[in-house]
Chains A and B, each alone.
Chain A
Amino acid sequence: MPDQLVVPGPPGQPGGAHVELTDISKSFGGVRALEAVNLRIDRGSIHALVGENGAGKSTLGKIIAGVTVPDRGQMLLRGGQVRFHTPREAIARGIVLIAQELSIVPALSVAENVFLGAEPRRGGVVNRRALRKRYADLAASAGFDLRGDLNAGALRTADQQKVEILRALSRDAELIVMDEPTAALSRPDVDLLHEVIRRLAAAGTTVVLVSHFLGEVLELADQVTVLRDGKLVRTAAAAEETETTLLSAMLGRPLGTAFPVRRPVPPHAPVVLSVQGLTASGVTNVSLEVRAGEIVGLAGLIGAGRTELASAVYRAVRAQSGVITLSPPRQQAPVQLHRAGSPRAALMAGLALIPEGRKEHGLLLGRPIGENVSLAALAKFHRGGLVRRRAERRAVDAVLVKAGVRVRSQAAPASTLSGGNQQKLLFARILLCEPKVLIADEPTRGVDVGSKRAIYDLLTELAADGLGVLLISSDVEEILGLAHRVLVMRLGGITAELTGSEMTEAAILSAAFGAARGGT
């Protein structure tokens, strides 16, 4: 692999300060996001920013990249004072931000995306040959094996991230701020990206890594800065930190156990969800059962078909074959979901889904919190066609308390809540429906540590109350910490069922990668 990268500008002397921030403060509408933060980022280092949601780590990254302008404080870039007002100014000085939401133009090719806005032109027309050549040079020097003529929209997220990185490099970036780059990646892609980040740093590019994943931070970073409530707690060498020390610094208190105590499933608990021979798009002949009070973990790589399975069971997409039976306890007869059914029918039969992607598939962001919660159970508050608003408000208040969401007003739009609270809002919605089975698809993605624990508690309590839970998660620890039983999916089918002492990270990963069958 070629070791040298396109590193423009003066060669970095490792150890020298690349960026120095002094007394940086920023408020959003009267709320302090950052307060008097001092930070020094060394050239060619990987510097991680960690903290809970709302701690100010993303804001700090955005200030460095000129996306956000601080209210107070100064910034030195290689010793000279700078004040960025737009990302454009920062880019001109070699600082690029790669945001969590990637800015890929899906209809354009990889190479066109990389050189977007800076295409080699001749007389106003894009010079395709020069574009191809430049791309090939850039990709080769970065050591990326990614064809330039592919359609960028069809790429996996990990490859789209490569496109963003190449774009940054093509603009002579010396410092790249990455905001949660691995949040949406599956394990092998995470490793790939880590390799890329390491290589960037080795070649002298400074990387500022904003991440929720402490394991990743400890593995990659040279320096770690912990933020809490907008204030800098400490900056230390990653070698001196452990997950425990970082967590207690982030939370400001010693950490309790990460997962609530698992309550055993009663021995004769009835089966509440039974799926037999389900085949749908991305799902091949899947059978599974969930019992009352049981949390069944569904593990697998991204693209293994877990979300597709959830959609097919919930009847959000049409299944080709298979029988889905819901057997609610304390109800006479089991209910079979019709093949041409709908989410509405599934919901009425006692099956609820918390979908992956709360913003895309879960919430009505612009609508009031109250409407978001009562949406699925509005029929309960009907009288003569009209919604009984007082009864609705009271019921919504009750489930909001139960789900641990504190809101000032139900009338505020859902978009005003933090990510963790938005996710809990979906739990509140489900609580109002009183389902017998819950499928939770990545319920803690992009959620801060405190809310994660609250969601774990919720799932455990729901199960203790007799709900059957199918928990889909890419976080193996989460599955091991919560589930009574683990199913592993690979290529649309279930490849392993693990119980008791078989439930280990190694067993899950080897089943997910198909290692047991000699594949990779």
Chain B
Amino acid sequence: MNNSDVTGSRAALALPSGAGMVSMLRKAGIVWPFLILFIVLSVASGPFFSKVNLLDILDQQASTLIIAAAGTMVLVAGCIDLSVGATYALAGVTATELALHTSPFLAVVAGVATGLVVGLVNGVVATTFRINSLIATLAMSFVVSGLASLVTSGNLIIAYAKPGFADLARTVFLSVNTSTWTMIAVVLLFGLVLSRTAAGRYMYAAGSNADAARLAGVRVQQTRLLAFVLSGGAAALGGVIDASRVLSAQASNGETTLTFTVLAGIVVGGTSILGGEGAIWRTVVGVLFIALIGNGSDLLGLNPLYDQIALGVILLLAVGADAWSRLRVT
């Protein structure tokens, strides 16, 4: 036994030094580029480092951050949700339509409920029917988009007549919009779920090795289902918040652009598309990093085309770093 202990401690000593460097790099990941960009922008652009601008960025990113936080859970659990853009639109138009006829409160609740239902269907299709979540949610995104168009009959729904509906996003509390407050609360809650609860642990387990997790008594299907429901609900909340902000919504809102912006934020943050790795704080940094690029180039008057090129390159670097570190570790 003495011998095995020697082997054990040697292994424990050996690998962190080789794989440790990589995992450290990966752990730090996006944080350094984010801080550097933040400092560079603060120096290069006067208006950047102002309360108005920074709060504005947070407010604009509120819905993306909420959706990406839930999306992180889906990815960690080893799945992917490509229907968030469509769900965002459906919830937005549903809530706005209802706001025209009923109370704003009911409109908001119904909007979010729509998303929870979409998430539930996604989850059932992807787990019980064992259809690959990439395809399942892609298919769902078409269905949901179609439903959104049915609700609007293809028109822009305007709720200027119902300013009460705007209270959800536009109420100012301690000089910060409620949309931002909601985002902070939801992201913190999701962060807590993923990092501190048993359900969160099971998500990591399901994404890391679903078979091993099941044999260890983890309800893999239910865990993934939960992630999908939260993702659907988050997408809907994002849609409702944005509809409330502008008091209008249309079926083509968000759509694929939003889905991929969300996914880009998650991946740039350092969450693995292969599951079992990642964290919500990373996603927050990733999403804000992308937002800073856009905001910075606006303020500096750069051609917005460069944003897109930069985003694409960063995305490739992020996925490349993930693949590379996996290669080194295993």
Question: Is B a genuine binding partner of A?
Answer: yes
Interfacial chain B residues near A361, Cβ < 8 Å: 209, 211-212, 215
Alpha-carbon distance A413/B26, docked complex (angstroms): 14
Q: Is B175 an interface residue (CB 8 A)?
A: no
Encode A357-370 as 1/0 by CB contact (under 8 A) with B: 00011111111000
Q: Is A481 an interface residue (CB 8 A)?
A: no
Given A344, A363, A386, A409, which contacts B217 in the complex, CB threshold below 8 Å? Answer: A344
Alpha-carbon distance A413/B201, docked complex (angstroms): 15
Q: Is A326 an interface residue (CB 8 A)?
A: no
Interfacial chain B residues near A406, Cβ < 8 Å: 5, 8-9, 12
If A360-B211, A362-B212 touch, does A408 touch B13 (CB 8 Å cutoff)?
A: yes
Q: Is the CB of A408 within 8 A of B215?
A: no
Given B11, B20, B198, which contacts A421 in the complex, CB threshold below 8 Å? Answer: B11
Q: Is the CB of B198 within 8 A of A343?
A: no
Alpha-carbon distance A415/B18, docked complex (angstroms): 12
Q: Is the CB of B4 within 8 A of A412?
A: no
Q: Is the CB of B205 within 8 A of A367?
A: yes
Alpha-carbon distance A379/B196, docked complex (angstroms): 13
Question: Chain B residue with minimal CB distance to A457?
Answer: B1
Minimum C-beta distance from B26 to chain A (A): 11
Encode B205-239 as 1/0 by CB contact (under 8 A) with A: 10011011111111100000000000000000000
Minimum C-beta distance from A277 to chain B (A): 24
Q: Is B14 an interface residue (CB 8 A)?
A: yes
Q: Is the CB of A416 within 8 A of B197?
A: no
Q: Is B15 an interface residue (CB 8 A)?
A: yes
Interfacial chain B residues near A363, Cβ < 8 Å: 209, 212
Alpha-carbon distance A417/B15, docked complex (angstroms): 8
Encode A26-48 as 1/0 by CB contact (under 8 A) with B: 00111100000000000000000
Q: Is the CB of B211 within 8 A of A450?
A: no
Q: Is the CB of B213 within 8 A of A375?
A: yes
Q: Is A316 an interface residue (CB 8 A)?
A: yes
Q: Is the CB of B7 within 8 A of A316?
A: no
Alpha-carbon distance A420/B205, docked complex (angstroms): 22
Alpha-carbon distance A282/B259, docked complex (angstroms): 45
Given B208, B209, B218, which contacts A344 in the complex, CB threshold below 8 Å? Answer: B218
Question: Chain A residue with minimal CB distance to B19?
Answer: A416
Q: Is A355 an interface residue (CB 8 A)?
A: yes
Minimum C-beta distance from B20 to chain A (A): 8
Q: Is A8 an interface residue (CB 8 A)?
A: no
Given B2, B15, B209, B277, which contacts A416 in the complex, CB threshold below 8 Å? Answer: B15
Alpha-carbon distance A364/B216, docked complex (angstroms): 10
Q: Which of A361-399 contact B (CB under 8 A)?
A: 361-367, 371, 375-376, 378-379, 382, 385-387, 389
Interfacial chain A residues near B10, Cβ < 8 Å: 31, 54, 418
Q: Is B204 an interface residue (CB 8 A)?
A: yes
Interfacial chain B residues near A429, Cβ < 8 Å: 216
Interfacial chain B residues near A385, Cβ < 8 Å: 197-199
Question: Chain B residue with minimal CB distance to A385?
Answer: B197
Given A314, A366, A448, which contacts B4 in the complex, CB threshold below 8 Å? Answer: A448
Alpha-carbon distance A462/B104, docked complex (angstroms): 62
Minimum C-beta distance from B10 to chain A (A): 6
Minimum C-beta distance from B329 to chain A (A): 6
Interfacial chain B residues near A344, Cβ < 8 Å: 217-219
Q: Is A131 an interface residue (CB 8 A)?
A: no
If A413-B329, A416-B16 touch, does A387 touch B198 (CB 8 Å cutoff)?
A: yes
If A364-B205, A415-B329 touch, does A451 touch B7 (CB 8 Å cutoff)?
A: yes
Interfacial chain A residues near B6, Cβ < 8 Å: 229
Q: Which of B1-53 contact A (CB under 8 A)?
A: 1-20, 23
Interfacial chain B residues near A457, Cβ < 8 Å: 1
Q: Is the CB of A366 within 8 A of B329?
A: yes
Q: Is A322 an interface residue (CB 8 A)?
A: no
Q: Is the CB of B329 within 8 A of A454?
A: no
Minimum C-beta distance from B121 to chain A (A): 23
Alpha-carbon distance A314/B217, docked complex (angstroms): 10
Q: Is A407 an interface residue (CB 8 A)?
A: yes
Alpha-carbon distance A400/B115, docked complex (angstroms): 44
Q: Is the CB of B7 within 8 A of A379?
A: no
If A386-B196, A450-B4 touch, does A54 touch B11 (CB 8 Å cutoff)?
A: yes
Interfacial chain A residues near B198, Cβ < 8 Å: 378-379, 382, 385, 387
Q: Is B330 an interface residue (CB 8 A)?
A: yes
Q: Is A279 an interface residue (CB 8 A)?
A: no
Q: Is B276 an interface residue (CB 8 A)?
A: yes
Q: Is A514 an interface residue (CB 8 A)?
A: no
Given B12, B13, B23, B208, which contacts A364 in the complex, CB threshold below 8 Å? Answer: B208
Q: Is the CB of A366 within 8 A of B1?
A: no
Q: Which of B52-101 contact A (CB under 8 A)?
A: none
Q: Which of B174-220 contact A (CB under 8 A)?
A: 192, 196-199, 201-202, 204-205, 208-209, 211-219
Given B2, B9, B208, which contacts A367 in the complex, CB threshold below 8 Å? Answer: B208
Question: Chain B residue with minimal CB distance to A316?
Answer: B215
Question: Chain B residue with minimal CB distance to A411?
Answer: B16
If A344-B217, A347-B217 touch, does A371 touch B11 (CB 8 Å cutoff)?
A: no
Q: Which of B315-330 contact A (CB under 8 A)?
A: 326, 329-330
Interfacial chain A residues near B196, Cβ < 8 Å: 386-387, 389
Q: Is the CB of A387 within 8 A of B215?
A: no
Q: Is the CB of B209 within 8 A of A348?
A: no
If A52-B3, A366-B276, A416-B16 touch, does A407 touch B205 (CB 8 Å cutoff)?
A: no
Question: Chain A residue with minimal CB distance to B199?
Answer: A385
Q: Is the CB of A364 within 8 A of B212?
A: yes
Q: Is the CB of B201 within 8 A of A387?
A: yes
Interfacial chain A residues near B14, Cβ < 8 Å: 28-31, 416
Chain A CB within 10 Å, residue with most, of B5, B199, B202, B215:
B215
* Interfacial residues, chain A to chain B (CB-CB below 8 A): 28-31, 52-54, 229, 251-252, 314, 316, 342-344, 347-348, 353, 355, 360-367, 371, 375-376, 378-379, 382, 385-387, 389, 404-409, 412-413, 415-418, 420-421, 429, 448-451, 453-454, 457
15 inter-chain pairs at a CB distance below 8 angstroms, sorted by A residue, are A29-B20, A30-B17, A31-B13, A251-B3, A342-B217, A353-B215, A363-B209, A367-B204, A385-B199, A387-B197, A387-B198, A418-B7, A450-B3, A453-B1, A454-B1
Q: Beyond the given A347-B216, A371-B201, could you list 17 further A-B residue pairs with CB under 8 A, ordered by the A residue number?
A: A29-B18, A30-B14, A31-B13, A344-B217, A344-B219, A353-B215, A360-B209, A364-B205, A365-B209, A376-B218, A378-B201, A408-B13, A415-B330, A416-B15, A418-B10, A450-B3, A450-B7
Closest CB pairs A-B (n = 10): A450-B3, A29-B17, A450-B4, A29-B18, A416-B15, A364-B208, A31-B14, A344-B217, A347-B217, A418-B11
